[in-house]
Amino acid sequence: MTRSSDSRSSSALLGALAFAALIASTCLIPPAPAFALSQLRTIPGDAAADEPDAAPKDDEIAPRAPSAPGGIPMPDPLVNKQTAPARPGKAESQPGKAPAPETPAAETRDGPVEVLTDVSKIPKPVARMRELIVEAAASGDIERLRPLLGKGETATAIGDSEEETDPVAAVKSLSGDADGLEILAIMLDVLSTGFTVIDKGTPDEMYVWPYFAAKPLDSLTPPEKVDLMRLVTAGDVAAMQEFGSYNFYRIGITPDGQWKFFIGGD
């Protein structure tokens, strides 16, 4: 072998050894780990970032309401019983101290006139006659009053005139219209008010609508004055006060259910 061929063989051997060394060094170096985006934002060496999340203190934890069976938190109570003011009421007895007096009940209305409103507590014949009058008046047919007005000694007193012998015609004559509708409306208004009993316990006992017919006008309370002005105007009330008493229409029914009168005036 010649010197030039030996030199080429040595160069090839050295190149092969260098390539093998390069491959070996590459396999021994571990690959760099891949970082998530959030990890890349963390600055190495930052103490606040390196420490684990600090647990909240006990006094920073807001109290939670107990859970309902379905796992939904129950609402907080509307009233804190420890700080809510005591409810008003009768004072508790304390040793050496007299209990506070109870609030007196509302005073009852003075006078002999008893204002009634519950028709279910009056004699059934009275309640039945009132119901029949209401039904007839609400129908708009004045003739439906005829069987209720009575005859002879039990005939109903109508108005202050004795000229009409026919009771239905007498009632119609009191109305401002030809069909008697206005007077039927007045009957309904009168029977919708409170009522009273006059001459109670005597043969002349009578259930009377409205109670204003038996009660002095100057003794009416504000709510009673409102009741009165559902029937008449303020000018009518002023005229009644000059007259001395209620003088609009009123209805009287005896305890046995007889329609005794439908009159106005004194």
Residues 6+ apart with CB under 8 A from 248: 212, 231, 232, 236, 240, 264
Range of the domain at 168: 119-214+248-263
- With CA atoms as reference, report the closest residue to 251 among 182, 198, 203: 198
> Does the residue 93 lie in any domain?
no
- With CA atoms as reference, report the closest residue to 209 among 233, 240, 229, 231: 231
- The pLDDT assigned to 10 comes to 55
- The pLDDT assigned to 17 comes to 60
> Does the residue 147 lie in any domain?
yes
> Does the residue 166 lie in any domain?
yes
- The pLDDT assigned to 21 comes to 56
- The pLDDT assigned to 165 comes to 83
> Does the residue 207 lie in any domain?
yes
> Does the residue 107 lie in any domain?
no
- The pLDDT assigned to 50 comes to 46
8 Å CB contact between 194 and 115:
yes
pLDDT digits (tens, 9 = 90+) for 116-163: 999 999 999 999 999 999 999 999 999 999 999 988 888 999 986 566
- With CA atoms as reference, report the closest residue to 215 among 227, 205, 204: 227
> Does the residue 182 lie in any domain?
yes
- The pLDDT assigned to 146 comes to 96
- With CA atoms as reference, report the closest residue to 174 among 249, 260, 252, 234: 249
How many other C-beta atoms lie within 10 A of the C-beta of residue 145?
A: 25
pLDDT digits (tens, 9 = 90+) for 45-71: 444 444 444 444 544 444 444 444 444
Return the SS3 of 73. strand
- The pLDDT assigned to 81 comes to 33
The total of structural domains in the chain comes to 1
> Does the residue 96 lie in any domain?
no
- The pLDDT assigned to 11 comes to 58
- The pLDDT assigned to 251 comes to 98
- The pLDDT assigned to 7 comes to 52
Which regions in the chain score pLDDT beneath 70?
Answer: 1-111, 160-164, 266
Which residues on neighbouring strands pair with residue 67, listed in sequence order? Answer: 73
> Does the residue 161 lie in any domain?
yes
- The pLDDT assigned to 159 comes to 83
- The pLDDT assigned to 74 comes to 42
